[in-house]
Chains A and B, each alone.
Chain A
């Protein structure tokens, strides 16, 4: 054990106090940055938000009644599609890991693999889906975008499902088995129901994360001015790529404004979902 050097008590207390002050300053700094970002988004975006903006599709600049409705709808479709693709296997996997794979080799490999998947950069995911879905079919599509987002969402939902199910005490499992239920029935009807808030929260958080991703959509769904009617065969408008297009790929101040408006929508929707999830589900690990 390290010997404490004989320092005057005053100096030690000074060091302790300065670190405390520094921590407070750092915390304020982090919160200040967040405040700055949110304020910037809000102040630049709020001027574009009005009813017209929300229900009209995007048009070239200069034409009246310009809006982002097609991108909003497109984003909803692409994200919903991603959820539809990723949620069932992820929940099943989470159930496997929590119920059958707690200490097995296969379970550990799966867990390891999922954690690895979570670390893959989102642009690589987009590249991958581009190569296997866009190139062979010859067209960009909202579906390809959904698949890319699903790959991102899958390990998150897998991990949170496992965590939630593990938090449910084994006594619940044992008592249902004692009643003569099969494992399957016990898991689905009792355990999952007990943890349903947590499971839903996990899914919503993953959806929120995917909704804000831009890089995977750049080469898969791309973007368009049309309503998202050809989900499987044509580029599909979506909010993140629209923000990218409008804020950086147009010379008009008005278009920049619209981009910020879309950014405002996305940011507050995602933050709202996060806060909502936190309120309805208090994570005992984080308190």
Chain B
């Protein structure tokens, strides 16, 4: 029986057009990424020309003399991120464990609760930090912790400890969500085999689940790292904004994003190029982390799926 063509245009042509259309919708937007680098690099170039590559390692910050260095901001970003991870990773790990083990509606509700933490806008975290956490740290926490090495004797509530803490609370839901997914992906048979040998839950987690999902867990940590490194508003309000390299956790300092946010509005001339240069450094830093994380997660997902 002959096929009756009902369409005016052949379906294959429509499909081809459709495919091109969807691609055309998305491709230009993606080219923006290249645009980011190009534009930042263009605007940052004069700063590097003026100060050379040593800009990255210089600790100068003298607006009067127009001499700038990126090191304090870079170190600040690294310190806050590292502190945040130090606090957030173990906490997310055990929280994710607990949530995965809890069955039924209670587990769901609690998971939603933790996920909601991620939905709170970052400026709210900043306000909470400035108005509540800073006095709290100054009066009730820091006075009792000055004996710990690297914590410092001079404290005022602002500084890396407070900023690190707020960042930790902010990235906890992200890392926790990824860890929950990784834990669920562990094949039940492996866990049951371990229980069959007589291990406790914690031992199973350490020796079986964590080993199995190590790459996924690491990927989650990288994602949290990227998020913490780029955070602006929450850090801006509590970091103390002093352009020096910190010697202790309770010291004040600055991060790249905080420096950008506080100085961009009134910067001109070389200062503006310096700020663009800082932005470029931050972009490279966070992209480097992202690329690493993406590669790691892809690798781990493929490995997991491959073994099924």
Contact = CB atoms under 8 A, between A and B. Distances in A.
A88 B21 CA distance: 11
B91 A92 contact: no
Contacts of B249: none
A154 B14 contact: no
B121 A240 contact: yes
B120 A37 contact: yes
A34 to B, nearest CB: 5
B257 A121 contact: yes
B286 A119 contact: yes
Contacts of A121: 229-232, 257, 282-283, 286
Interface stretch (B55-63, B93-101, B153-161): B93-101
A76 interface: no
Interface stretch (B143-151, B198-206, B240-248): B198-206
A151 interface: yes
B30 A113 contact: yes
A1 B198 CA distance: 15
Contact of A263 (B94, B124, B173): B124
A244 B30 CA distance: 31
A86 B130 CA distance: 33
B257 A23 contact: no
Contacts of B33: 113, 116-117
Contacts of A237: none
B127 interface: yes
Interface residues of A, number: 91
B230 A120 contact: yes
Interface string B18-39: 1101111111111011011001
A24 interface: yes
A52 B295 CA distance: 53
A262 to B, nearest CB: 10
A32 B14 CA distance: 55
Contacts of B260: 123, 127
B189 interface: no
Identify which of A90, A91, A183 gathers the most chain B CB atoms within 10 Å of its CB: A183
Given A34-B113, A113-B33, A263-B124, A40 B119 contact: no
B122 A248 contact: no
A30 B114 contact: yes
Interface in B259-308: 260-261, 264-265, 275-276, 279, 282-283, 286-287, 289-291, 293-294
A224 B53 CA distance: 40
Interface in A90-123: 90-93, 95-96, 99-100, 106, 110, 112-123
Contact of A88 (B25, B32, B180): B25
Nearest to B36: A128
Contacts of B230: 119-124
Q: What 5 A-B pairs are tightest by C-beta distance, nearest first?
A: A121-B230, A212-B121, A93-B26, A92-B25, A182-B11
Given A92-B26, A271-B120, A285-B181, 15 more contacts: A4-B197, A20-B98, A31-B110, A92-B22, A112-B294, A114-B30, A119-B289, A123-B261, A127-B275, A128-B36, A187-B18, A212-B124, A213-B121, A219-B265, A286-B177
13 contacts: A12-B203, A27-B110, A30-B114, A90-B29, A96-B19, A120-B36, A120-B283, A121-B257, A132-B35, A182-B7, A215-B232, A243-B127, A267-B124
Interface of B: 7, 11-12, 14-15, 17-19, 21-30, 32-33, 35-36, 39-40, 43, 91, 94-95, 97-99, 108, 110-117, 119-125, 127-128, 130-132, 169, 172-173, 177, 180-181, 197, 199-203, 207, 223, 226-227, 229-233, 237, 257, 260-261, 264-265, 275-276, 279, 282-283, 286-287, 289-291, 293-294
